[in-house]
Amino acid sequence: MPSAWTDKTPQQGSSSQVRKALSRFRLSQPSPSEMARLTPRHCLYKTELIKPQRPWKALSDVELSTAEYVDWYNHRRLHGEIGHVPPAEYETAHYQNTQKQQVTATI
């Protein structure tokens, strides 16, 4: 089974794993600051989804579970750093507040 599904590499290599995954899908290489944001999420994804369910039977199983995980992560998971609300709810509130502040009257 490919290592992308089982992840037998040490935790310290997670940054290089993210870079390899991005290049595999022909995505641009992230900047160091982007890597600082990507690596913890990648580790969380592996810890919460990939490792508990391995070994995976097929790539399609990983893809479907990943889509479900991303939906849950963005729409139902409560995040303490943003007031114990899901990211999608927080983002909606942020843009509603931003748009209200930008409304100006024209004479």
56-90 pLDDT, tens per residue?
999 999 999 999 999 999 999 999 999 999 999 99
Q: How confident is the model at residue 50 (pLDDT cuts 50, 70, 90)?
A: very high
Q: Give ∠ CA 58-64-65 in degrees, rounded to 5.
A: 95
pLDDT of residue 14: 63
Residues in Cβ contact with 62 at an 8 Å cutoff, skipping those fewer than 6 apart: 4, 5, 50, 56
pLDDT of residue 92: 94
pLDDT of residue 105: 61
CA distance 44 to 19: 16
4-26 pLDDT, tens per residue?
434 444 444 567 777 777 677 76
Residue ranges covered by each domain of the chain: 3-76
